[in-house]
Chain A
């Protein structure tokens, strides 16, 4: 085909030429001097609302080599999916594009042509997903904080690999290993009661935190502290003299209490949370295994500090009640010990117990979040419901 020079009339070539092609004009399209597979060029479909995040360099791609890549903004995680297209998609760069010149530095002979650099076989798209946080707990459990001797001196800067071998992770190590946005990662660290000690994120061993809490409660009796108004400085220095670091005593307050206002002298005041303290002791009582309800309640009430009130309702999502004949038994079964993904969570629940009533099931699934799927949707997908008699409670079992 021959181009009619009279009709060509939009000025330059390249992508600009195509986009701004005027009516009744034409433009040749040819292969670019460096046309080729260009596998390093990727097309990413992006929602307008996400665009500013990317253009302002606020997104990262995360994952390890054997994982499917995710893209994270500061608050959200997206799966990256490749969508194939059987059409031929000709990719045309702008004419003024220094990146793609051939070996001789030429841009091709015709400045009036649009030049196809690559034939794209499809594009990538982003799908919002729940963060993949399951790995975080297992990383932090590699080396839980068991005593003050476990604290690592920040002066001993170790090679990244060495840190990994010791099961110690800094924030940047976690970001590189866990597929979640910064906000989601932070929220999960909080949910796991992890604490940053000397630059490393640690989970404090159950037994050790039990020792710290007991020491705090003993001291509160000894010094007449009010559990609803604890002075952080005073507590830290007393616990320090007992051999506990300030970071650990503060962590203990963070886990079992809430920070009230700072007082007039700028000191932090904490109030211990009745429910969290009670749950802690209930777990301790049930550590040995299941118990008859009466005995459990007796032991539990004995353990908790004076002026605190144990209520069985507090143990929602922490214990299971079982009726065997005339006897009622309780056993520890904590939602925090269960997998985070819906499929694994429901599998674990139905392994524990084949049939669930809604009121029992709810505390074990209410934390599940899947973008675009409601709680009801999850139940429909992963459970079968039966009703023994009309008007009776619904029973959920595995599909």
Chain B
């Protein structure tokens, strides 16, 4: 199988996405679990000093910095095109072939990420109304092989 990696944005015009990265996880209060869409996570604030940011989540304040990624990330979207199955004269002989329409996978570059705002400090408690809670969890990155996308 050969999968074309498409890019319709051309050189230099790739829409730039952003990454906000925190250590640990954001835990949503149980009553919001099922309707998380549009829910506010927190407020990102750039302080007066150059690349310093705070991210206020519930009654926790995180401080972090904006950094340029050493190597940019591309955002790829996996697309599947389904072809009409070709009429087969020997349909009875080969039912499995006739029943499965041909699909072709395509990868399209839809964006690029060059910066991330990383919050790697422990949260500082604020006195405020609790909304969501940040859980700290640390473990090293791990590498596994990716199976061939279909």
Contacts and interface: CB of A to CB of B under 8 A. Distances in A.
Interface of A: 1, 3, 7, 14-16, 18-19, 21-35, 39-48, 51-52, 54-57, 59-69, 71, 79-94, 96-97, 99, 102, 108-109, 113-114, 116, 120, 122-124, 172, 175-176
Nearest to A106: B38
A96 B111 CA distance: 12
Given A21-B53, A81-B144, 16 more contacts: A18-B20, A27-B43, A27-B44, A29-B42, A29-B43, A41-B77, A48-B71, A51-B74, A52-B11, A54-B7, A68-B146, A86-B23, A86-B140, A87-B21, A90-B19, A90-B21
Mostly, the A contact residues are mixed
B43 to A, nearest CB: 5
- Choose among B79, B128, B149 the residue with the greatest number of A CB atoms under 10 Å from its CB: B149
B38 A1 contact: no
Contact of B24 (A42, A88, A97): A88
B109 to A, nearest CB: 6
6 contacts: A18-B44, A35-B37, A41-B77, A59-B5, A81-B144, A88-B21
Contact of A86 (B72, B116, B139): B139
B30 interface: no
A44 B18 CA distance: 14
A41 B18 CA distance: 14
A89 B4 CA distance: 27
Given A44-B73, A86-B137, A88-B24, A175 B2 contact: yes
A67 B5 CA distance: 18
A56 B8 CA distance: 9
B147 interface: yes
A6 to B, nearest CB: 13
A60 B19 CA distance: 26
Contacts of A86: 23, 137-141
Contacts of B139: 86
Interface of B: 1-7, 9-11, 14-26, 36-50, 53, 55-56, 58, 71-79, 107, 109-111, 113, 115-117, 128, 131, 137-150
A22 B44 contact: no
A84 B141 contact: yes
B1 to A, nearest CB: 6
A40 B9 contact: no
A84 B36 contact: no
A79 B3 CA distance: 15
A63 B1 contact: yes
A82 B142 CA distance: 8
A213 to B, nearest CB: 36
Contacts of A22: 46
Given A35-B37, A64-B1, A88-B25, A42 B19 contact: no
Nearest to A102: B37
